[in-house]
């Protein structure tokens, strides 16, 4: 996807780290210390006092049960995190046995692992059962936020631990006086995030624009990768996957590691080149990568530095304040429990209102204004994804928070306004990105074979695909619309209207997409016209962001989603609520922002041969058939930047009737989401171009490419 920078890129939790004023510093950390000094000084005296109070709470009986048990558990966790944050900067990692680090890591995460989750205050059902409906839900939100501090402790962030400990003390003191009203506890949560939200947002922007906040970069550049103890420095959950991935990459020849890094960083560089953007004006590249891939990332950082780019790493989606889990993490491993994250995705509902949203927006604008020069140097994200874990089929939890209809609208409003603010300081037309994916050992016994095949898929001859894709585009540009049908159990019957061309000799509606921002190679795409785009899109099963959707069906009327359904849950009401939250992102409707035809039949064959179709990430899956994105176009926030195909034709289909509203009211033009839904070749009947004179031409018939010159694409399909 081409385009600008969205709020999800920027409004995460606290960014990279400092070690706190109470910790010893090495000379090389002085710049980072300067950044963190105001925050550290603010809590330097408060931190030891509140840690002492945590210890007292663990041994007192001044609060009645069942609340005493909760406060004891929460205070004990904060005390552990506080001690760790104090010590971690002084820790001699080489002197700590690996087994001890493994036990420490497990001790923090075992209570939310699937086998233990039923007895954790992190489980809304357990919290409600133990503490009652109102208090259970409210204190469960606080407990999940406290758990979000685990990685922060490994970064020495005593500030975060101090303020959450003080919040716990405030609530504890009120319970000491007798059982309070639920509204009192809710207000404590509200005013905590109201008062500290400014700091959370400020440091989020700092992490995006301050390469000196180099906690993650130093792990990459300074670690001995043969000693897997380095993995535990992150504070993330470390499973067998992270350990096996790091060990596997350690065994690869240096030339192969460098080749992987080159593919990744060249994709980023070429993304600027093909869109006519000036990379020399950028100084920062945001790294998003999985724990275990540090050896590849070290080579990538060296490549980026040769381009004049310093790495920055942002955290996002950690606290309920930002919408926990909605933005993902810039750095992390596989989730210890996806159901835990799903249960807490709407924790904001405990306190979200218009006043809090407006304060967040004011804080975001002020933070960018303070860093506006550095913000202009931000170039966009370079992402490494992984795939291989089993798809997640969420279970409804009636005790988990859900956003009210009013709060859903507030979330949409915030996302729109935050994107507008961000784009004021980080111009979307000046940024690019790249994304690449690799399997992890969870994919099965043939992991190493699949990894090698994925490397092959990621490095296919883009010139060959460029030529074949151009032949497809030439036929598509003859049409006024495209008719797509499914076969077998797939009931897709959809007509997609195309942007008309004023001068077909100089213009095209489709981008010839090879391996730049989206690796691997293999698609042609357009922003369809909305008027005239009608019909049914259906897939029998699809995984989007790791979540399984069963019998997903969308009905489009003039390019907008008019109806939606699936069969994940027992009732229609549950299914519609699930789709509105997870697919429509709380919007009442979304436009079709993209229509594309994937051409990477080699990737499709890989999925078939290794029986991993359900595990392929959307990055690869979207190249294995036609796909349709709901939400923003592929060029959001950058529609006015000319883009050209290799044949010199300008791609003029960069907007639709909705994104065109940016000239009148920018809040109505964007939705801040873009979700691709792919029909696999084996569920595909025909893709037929419909010309103005009524004649037709097939692109794909019965799941095979039929445009002359594209015959090599059918080899893997046979």
Give the CA angle between residues 583, 585, 591 to the nearest 5°. Answer: 75
Neighbours of 212 (CB within 10 A): 18
Say which residues have a Cβ less than 8 Å from residue 360's Cβ, sequence separation at least 6.
11, 197, 201, 414, 418
Question: What does pLDDT average to over the chain?
Answer: 91
Average pLDDT over residues 51-62: 96
Q: Over 60: is that where the pLDDT of 486 sits?
A: yes
Q: Over 50: is that where the pLDDT of 655 sits?
A: yes
Share of the chain above pLDDT 70, in %: 93
Say which residues have a Cβ less than 8 Å from residue 41's Cβ, sequence separation at least 6.
21
Tell me what pLDDT residue 447 has. Answer: 97
Helix (H, G, I), strand (E, B) or coil at 552: strand
Say which residues have a Cβ less than 8 Å from residue 295's Cβ, sequence separation at least 6.
225, 246, 249, 250, 252, 257
Residue 316 confidence class, pLDDT cut points 50, 70, 90 = low
Tell me what pLDDT residue 9 has. Answer: 39
| Cα–Cα nearest to 289, from 381, 155, 392, 214 | 381
Of the CA atoms within 13 Å of residue 220, those in its CB half-sphere come to 23
Tell me what pLDDT residue 23 has. Answer: 34
Tell me what pLDDT residue 391 has. Answer: 80
pLDDT in tens, 237-291: 999 999 999 999 999 999 999 999 999 999 999 889 877 889 999 999 999 999 9
Neighbours of 103 (CB within 10 A): 11
8 A C-beta contact, residue 209 and residue 284: yes
pLDDT in tens, 445-474: 999 999 999 999 999 888 899 999 999 999
Q: Over 60: is that where the pLDDT of 13 sits?
A: no
d(CA 607, CA 613): 5
Neighbours of 349 (CB within 10 A): 18
Residue 325 confidence class, pLDDT cut points 50, 70, 90 = low
- Please provide the DSSP assignment of 672-705 as one string: S-EEEEE--GGGEEEEEEEETTS-EEEEEETTEE
Higher pLDDT, 75 or 518: 75
d(CA 153, CA 157): 6
d(CA 284, CA 206): 12
State the pairing for strand pair 560-565/547-557. Answer: antiparallel
Whole-model pTM: value is 0.89
pLDDT in tens, 117-136: 999 999 999 999 999 999 99
Q: Over 60: is that where the pLDDT of 511 sits?
A: yes
Q: By mean pLDDT, which of 28-42, 159-173, 418-432, 522-536 is the weakest?
A: 28-42
Average pLDDT over residues 170-192: 97
pLDDT in tens, 363-389: 999 999 999 999 999 999 999 999 999
Residue 426 confidence class, pLDDT cut points 50, 70, 90 = very high
Average pLDDT over residues 144-166: 95
């Amino acid at each position: 996807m081409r385009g600008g920078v969205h709020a999800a890129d920027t409004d995460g939790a606290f960014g990279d780290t400092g070690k706190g004023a109470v910790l010893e510093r090495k000379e090389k950390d002085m710049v980072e210390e300067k950044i963190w000094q105001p925050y550290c000084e603010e809590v330097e005296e408060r931190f030891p006092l509140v840690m002492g109070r945590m210890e007292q709470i663990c041994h007192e009986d001044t609060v009645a049960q069942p609340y005493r048990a909760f406060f004891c558990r929460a205070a004990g966790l904060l005390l552990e995190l506080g001690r760790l944050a104090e010590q971690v900067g002084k820790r001699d990692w080489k002197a700590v046995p690996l087994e001890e680090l493994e036990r420490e890591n497990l001790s923090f995460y075992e209570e939310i692992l699937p086998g233990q989750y039923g007895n954790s205050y992190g489980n809304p059902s357990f919290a409600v059962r133990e503490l009652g409906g109102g208090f259970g839900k409210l204190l469960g939100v606080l407990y999940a936020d406290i758990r979000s501090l685990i990685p922060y402790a490994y970064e020495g962030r005593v500030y975060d631990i101090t303020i959450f400990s003080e919040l716990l003390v405030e609530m504890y003191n009120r319970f000491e006086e007798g059982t309070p009203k639920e509204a009192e506890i809710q207000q404590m949560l509200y005013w905590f995030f109201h008062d500290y939200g400014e700091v959370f947002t400020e440091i989020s922007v700092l992490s995006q624009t301050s390469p000196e906040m180099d906690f993650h970069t130093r792990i990459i550049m300074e670690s001995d990768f043969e000693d897997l103890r380095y993995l535990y420095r992150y504070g993330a959950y470390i499973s067998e996957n992270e350990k096996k991935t790091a060990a596997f990459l350690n065994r690869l020849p240096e030339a192969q590691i460098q080749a992987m890094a080159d593919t990744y960083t060249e994709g980023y560089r070429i993304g600027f080149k093909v869109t006519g953007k000036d990379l020399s004006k950028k100084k920062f590249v945001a790294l998003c990568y999985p724990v275990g891939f540090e050896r590849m990332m070290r080579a990538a950082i060296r490549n980026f530095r040769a381009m004049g780019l310093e790495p920055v790493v942002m955290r996002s989606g950690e606290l309920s304040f930002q919408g926990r889990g909605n933005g993902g993490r810039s750095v992390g491993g596989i989730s210890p429990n996806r159901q835990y994250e799903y249960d807490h995705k709407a924790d904001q509902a405990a306190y979200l209102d218009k006043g809090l949203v407006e304060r967040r927006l004011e804080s975001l604008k002020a933070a960018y204004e303070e860093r506006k020069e550095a913000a202009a140097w931000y170039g966009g994200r370079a992402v490494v994804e992984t795939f291989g874990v089993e798809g997640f089929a969420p279970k409804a939890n009636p005790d988990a928070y859900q956003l009210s209809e009013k709060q859903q609208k507030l979330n949409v409003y915030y996302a729109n306004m935050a994107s507008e603010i961000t784009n004021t300081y980080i111009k979307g037309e000046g940024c690019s990105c790249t994304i690449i994916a690799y399997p992890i050992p969870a994919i099965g016994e043939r992991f190493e074979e699949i990894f090698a095949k994925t490397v092959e898929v990621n490095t296919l001859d883009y010139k060959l695909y460029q030529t074949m894709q151009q032949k497809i585009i030439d036929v598509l540009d003859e049409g006024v619309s495209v008719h797509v049908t499914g076969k077998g159990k797939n009931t897709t019957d959809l007509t997609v209207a195309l942007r008309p061309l004023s001068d077909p000799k100089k213009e095209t509606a489709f981008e010839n997409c090879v391996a730049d921002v989206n690796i691997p190679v293999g698609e042609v795409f357009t922003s369809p016209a909305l008027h005239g785009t009608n019909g049914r899109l259906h897939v029998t099963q699809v995984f989007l962001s790791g979540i399984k959707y069963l019998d997903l069906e969308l009905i489009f009327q003039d390019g907008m989603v008019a109806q939606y359904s699936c069969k994940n849950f027992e009732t229609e009401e549950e299914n519609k609520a699930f789709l509105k939250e997870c697919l429509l992102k709380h919007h009442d409707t979304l436009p079709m922002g993209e229509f594309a035809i994937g051409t990477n039949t080699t990737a499709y064959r890989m999925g078939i041969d290794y029986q991993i179709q359900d595990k392929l990430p959307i990055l690869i899956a979207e190249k294995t058939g036609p796909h349709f994105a709901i939400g923003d176009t592929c060029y959001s926030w950058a529609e006015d930047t000319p883009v050209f195909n290799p044949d010199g034709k300008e791609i003029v289909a960069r907007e639709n009737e909705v994104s065109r509203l940016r000239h009148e009211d920018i809040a109505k033009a964007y939705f801040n989401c873009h979700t691709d839904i792919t029909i696999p070749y084996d569920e595909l009947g025909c893709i037929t171009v419909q010309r103005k004179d009524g004649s037709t031409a097939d692109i794909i018939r019965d799941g095979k490419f039929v445009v002359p010159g594209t015959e090599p694409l059918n080899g893997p399909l046979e």
